Amino acid sequence: MGLDHLEGTLDEELKKVVAGGSVFKAVRGDYGCGKTFFARWLCDRARKMGFATSEVQVSETETPLHRLETVYRRLTERMGTAGAPSGALRNLVDGWFFTLEEDVLAEGEINESDESALLARTNELLEKRLGKVSDTAPTFSAALRGYRKAQSEGDGATAEGILAWLSGQPNVAAAAKRYAGVKGDIDHFGALNFLQGLLTVIRDSGSAGMLVVLDEVETIQRVRSDVRDKSLNALRQLIDEVDSGRFPGLYLLITGTPAFYDGPQGIARLEPLAQRLHVDFQTDARFDNPRAVQIRLPAFSLQRLQLVGCKVRDIYASHCNSSNRIRDLVGDDYVQQLASSVAGKLGGKVGLAPRIFLKKLVSDILDRVDQFDDFDPRQHYTLTMSESELTAEERQAASATDVDEIELDL
């Protein structure tokens, strides 16, 4: 909710990527303002436009930003399309080979029944399409050739191993790598070359491009200073590569808190990165430029909480037989009252309220109105919260008994 002012610009940027361009975007917002939901909303819009998407959550241990080979591996693991919400890499690669075969058959020189000639000509076309990538990452096209050959021979286990290696997985069987003529594993620098090759496959297979989300990049502020500096430099490198046009068909989005963009342990530690991401946010938020490299999400207000509640109620009502009762008994005024009550019990921290508010709205109120004809939430329901249903942050906010005890994010 409340993202209407961004839709036009974001759609324009996605269309730019479809046309062969590339875009980098940074999103800033406090905890609880909806950065992750924003990223998933944009992924949904992109998939409807024919994009492949992948959401990677940056973490200190599992996905450190300074190790791009790990980022690449997570990216391929979580890739999705409109037809395959997850694990879409195989479909994209197979779709690409199918497209190559169709292009070969369209030439009219090779008979469909001549499998060996079809395979040889497909490999020639593969090399031509991956010409630029082969100059910097010859093993990428070699692995694709090996995967195609293993499939044609019915060797599923070898094909699986080669595809795993292509997606950056470690500990791939040596036999599979020997079959494809490759060695070792993908390293930090090889990851960028493989990303370039992956984009070629995605666009040639009929997809519009790829949207990659690097979520919660602010976690790099908590690592050792040397690792933090490497991570910041890796981010700077990614931005420069996107801006240089190396990755046509890529939309790269990162999310982070204001402290990451403005604080001393964030991008300010690397001056070139701070210069690339600098945007003036001193003016009224109404006049924020959605075309800027960095955009900010508004804090989650009580009004937005009410709007979300009303939308959830309407969606619920549209899927049940008691829709009229639901709209009568759970009107906009009641949703507003519930939102205010939930936020009040959490010390006024509206940003922490959405999860528990929606849970109460659906499970405690809408479900009961739908199932019991004589249930009236104004008469029969009293809002309560137990510690067992709250997260640690919610418990901390709910434990405040005086205004001076409420912890503010300043």
Vertex 342 angle, CA 340 and 347, to 5°: 90
Both tokens assigned to 410: 């300043």
Both tokens assigned to 383: 């809002």
pLDDT: which is higher, 409 or 394: 394
pLDDT at 32 over 80: no
Long-range contacts of 2-11 (CB under 8 A, 24+ apart): 2/298, 2/304, 2/307, 3/38, 3/41, 5/290, 6/290, 6/295, 8/290, 9/290, 9/291, 10/42, 10/45, 10/290, 11/45
Q: For residue 158, what is the enclosing H or E element? A: helix 156-166
14 located within any domain: yes
202 located within any domain: no
77 and 214 together in one domain = yes
pLDDT at 98 over 60: yes
pLDDT: which is higher, 213 or 303: 213
What is the mean pLDDT of the segment spanning 167-196?
91
Q: Cα separations (Å) of 85 from 47, 78, 91, 142, 351? A: 9, 9, 11, 28, 29
34 located within any domain: yes
pLDDT at 369: 93
Sheet with 250-256, strands from edge to edge, namely 79-80, 51-57, 209-215, 250-256, 23-28, 294-296
213 and 264 together in one domain = yes
Q: Range of 97's domain?
A: 89-191
Most confident of 130-139, 174-183, 279-288: 174-183
pLDDT at 395: 86
62 and 100 together in one domain = no
What is the mean pLDDT of the segment spanning 16-38?
91
Confidence at 276, pLDDT banded by 50, 70, 90: very high
CB of 366 within 8 A of CB of 316?
Answer: yes
pLDDT digits (tens, 9 = 90+) for 292-334: 999 998 877 898 899 999 999 999 999 988 888 999 999 999 9
pLDDT at 408: 53
Q: What would the DSSP string read from start to end of 200-246?
A: HHHHHTT--EEEEEEE-GGGGGGS-HHHHHHHHHHHHHHHHHHHTTS
Strand 250-256 versus strand 209-215 pairing type: parallel
pLDDT digits (tens, 9 = 90+) for 140-161: 888 998 998 898 889 999 999 9
pLDDT at 195: 94
What is the mean pLDDT of the segment spanning 238-253?
95
Q: How many domains does the chain have?
A: 3
User: What rounded mean pLDDT belongs to the chain?
Assistant: 89
377 and 322 together in one domain = yes
pLDDT: which is higher, 119 or 288: 288
Both tokens assigned to 28: 């800033």
Phi-psi region of 209 (alpha: psi -120 to 50; beta: other; left: phi over 0): left
CB of 93 within 8 A of CB of 144?
Answer: yes
199 located within any domain: no
pLDDT: which is higher, 126 or 269: 269
Q: Is 67 exposed, middle or buried (0-12, 13-18, 19+ CB in 10 A)?
A: middle
- pTM comes to 0.84
Among 279, 296, 313, identify where a domain stops.
Answer: 296
Does the CA dihedral 72-76-81-85 come out positive or negative?
negative
What is the mean pLDDT of the segment spanning 122-134?
79
Q: Identify the three-state secondary structure at position 295.
A: strand
222 located within any domain: yes
CB of 402 within 8 A of CB of 396?
Answer: no
pLDDT at 407: 53
Does the CA dihedral 14-16-18-24 come out positive or negative?
negative
95 and 234 together in one domain = no
How many whole angstroms separate alpha carbon 64 and alpha carbon 58? 6
222 and 173 together in one domain = no
324 and 380 together in one domain = yes
Strand 23-28 versus strand 250-256 pairing type: parallel
Q: Which of 74-78, 128-132, 191-195 has the lowest mean pLDDT?
A: 128-132
198 located within any domain: no
pLDDT at 60: 86
307 and 400 together in one domain = yes
410 located within any domain: no
291 and 314 together in one domain = no
What is the mean pLDDT of the segment spanning 42-71?
94
Confidence at 400, pLDDT banded by 50, 70, 90: low
Q: Is 246 exposed, middle or buried (0-12, 13-18, 19+ CB in 10 A)?
A: middle
332 and 353 together in one domain = yes
Q: Cα separations (Å) of 361 from 99, 142, 262, 383, 394? A: 48, 55, 37, 10, 17
Among 273, 296, 319, identify where a domain stops.
Answer: 296
Confidence at 393, pLDDT banded by 50, 70, 90: confident
pLDDT at 403 over 60: no
What is the mean pLDDT of the segment spanning 243-251?
95
Query: DSSP character for 304?
Result: H
Percent of the chain whose pLDDT exceeds 70: 97
174 and 246 together in one domain = no
pLDDT at 184 over 70: yes
How many whole angstroms separate alpha carbon 77 and alpha carbon 56? 9
Q: How many CA atoms lie within 13 Å of 39's alpha carbon, on the beta-carbon side?
A: 25
Q: Residue 209: beta bridge partners?
A: 51
159 located within any domain: yes
CATH of the domain at 289: 3.40.50.300
Among 191, 226, 246, identify where a domain stops.
Answer: 191
> Which amino acid would we find at residue 341?
S
Confidence at 112, pLDDT banded by 50, 70, 90: confident
93 and 183 together in one domain = yes
